[in-house]
Amino acid sequence: MALVLGGARSGKSSYALELARRSPPPRLYLATAEAGDAEMAARIAQHRRERGEDWDTWEVPLDLAEAVTQAQGRYQVILVDCLTLWLSNRLIRGGDIAGRKNACLDLVAALERTATPTILVSNEVG
């Protein structure tokens, strides 16, 4: 497993793609972003163009642990972009603290179980 950290728009997603391309297809991109405005829609479109045709893309704004579990054994590499947006989605959608904590623990457990090389992207915050 690899964790790619960086500031907003620092090139961390592009770097993570470079790392993931070292693995042969099939490759899976787990997208946590949602196109809430025109700027985000443009960024999502740019990321799709950068990936090209040899990637499967699953949009998973909330159920990231389940997606990692379902991908197990089906792909040569999994790229999660990004944890920051996933956590933000979890906070925005409400729910109680215990539910948010369990979602995080479920993701950690799913990542521990998978034998598929996984690259996680996250923003540096603070």
Q: Which residues contact 42 (CB under 8 A, 6 or more apart)?
A: none
pLDDT digits (tens, 9 = 90+) for 89-126: 999 987 899 999 999 999 999 999 999 999 999 999 86
pLDDT of residue 51: 84
Question: What are the start-end ranges of the H helices in 1-126?
Answer: 12-20, 38-51, 64-71, 83-92, 97-113
Residue range 52-79, pLDDT digits in tens: 888 999 999 999 999 999 999 999 999 9
47 is catalytic: yes
The predicted model scores a pTM of: 0.91
CB 113 within 8 A of CB 73: no
Q: One of 47, 48, 56, 100 is an active-site residue; which one? A: 47
Domains of the chain: 2-123 (3.40.50.300)
